[in-house]
Amino acid sequence: MNSAVRTRRSEAAIRTFDVCVAAVLLALLTPALILLAAAIAIDSPGGAIYRCRRIGRDGKPFDMLKFRKMPADARGPALTVVGDGRFTRVGELLARLKLDELPQLWNVLRGEMSLVGPRPEDPEFVALFRDEFAVILTIPPGVTGLSQLAYAREGEILDPTDRAADYVGRVLPQKLWLDELYAERRRFRTNLQILFWTASTVVLRRPVSVNRATGALTLRRRPAVAERDATANAVSADVAVLTVDR
């Protein structure tokens, strides 16, 4: 069997798995999703869903869905940090537990995202790294993935005085490296491994270490919260952390 046929079969298996899992999860989580939406609406005026414009497969823009974590009229940097003063009371809980990401299961059903893939980025960031995204955008973005696991606590290391510059200059290049690595090695089995480690992280509440050279995943042994500069120096071996919007 040649590589093209293997790739087509792998992509078909991934898509079938995505649809089945997303549909089952949405069905099981519907009561919880309704309660979360009600809590958001009660906590602050406005809709419960926030639509983030992102760039998807083949450079096509789409609206990534998230539960709203800030007031509907919130202003300021797109990137958030730990303890962001713009969070509502419910929004702070959503951000800490990553529950704001649950509506993306609908993006998966629509075919705009996959359960596993590169993290979808803002059009402005994509424009700054066109060469790197040329490879990354050949596959669908994902709810979880290597860069999402490695940067699950991004808000803890971003420079609060200039979040965008710190993200573009220091964090995003590291994430792009991992996303390119994943794009070149995307397989159904790889996705299952990433989903396993994602579930392990949620259950054990411990961050995952991602090997920058191979993409191998292990539980992080050193303290989860480190000084920002120490994290930056160690990132070449195992990185840590992610972007949140309203």
Q: Give the model's pLDDT for residue 1.
A: 60
Q: Give the model's pLDDT for residue 224.
A: 45
Q: Give the model's pLDDT for residue 94.
A: 92
Kindly give the interhelix angle for 89-97 and 3-43, rounded to the nearest 10 degrees.
Answer: 160
| Model confidence at 156: pLDDT above 60 | yes
State the amino acid at position 88 in one-letter form.
T
Q: pLDDT exceeding 70 applies to what percent of the chain?
A: 89
For the chain, what is the mean pLDDT? 86
For the chain, the DSSP string reads: --HHHHHHHHHHHHHHHHHHHHHHHHHHHHHHHHHHHHHHHHHSSS-SEEEEEEE-GGG-EEEEEEE--S-TT--S-SS--TT-TT--HHHHHHHHHTGGGTTHHHHHHTTS-EEESPPPB-HHHHHHTHHHHHHHTTS--EEE-HHHHHTTTGGGTS-TTSHHHHIIIIIHHHHHHHHHHHHHH--HHHHHHHHHHHHHHHHH---EEEBTTT--EEE--S-SS--HHHHHHHTTTB--------
Q: Give the model's pLDDT for residue 242.
A: 33
| Model confidence at 116: pLDDT above 90 | yes
* pLDDT (tens digit per residue) in 46-100: 999 999 999 999 999 999 999 999 998 888 777 887 778 889 999 999 988 889 9
| Model confidence at 137: pLDDT above 50 | yes
Q: Nearest CA to 210 among 157, 164, 160, 174?
A: 174
Where is pLDDT greater, at 74 or 4? 74
pTM of the model: 0.84
Q: Give the model's pLDDT for residue 182.
A: 96
pLDDT tier at 21, thresholds 50, 70, 90:
very high
Most confident of 5-14, 24-33, 196-205, 217-226: 24-33
Q: Give the model's pLDDT for residue 196.
A: 93
* pLDDT (tens digit per residue) in 218-236: 887 755 444 444 344 333 3
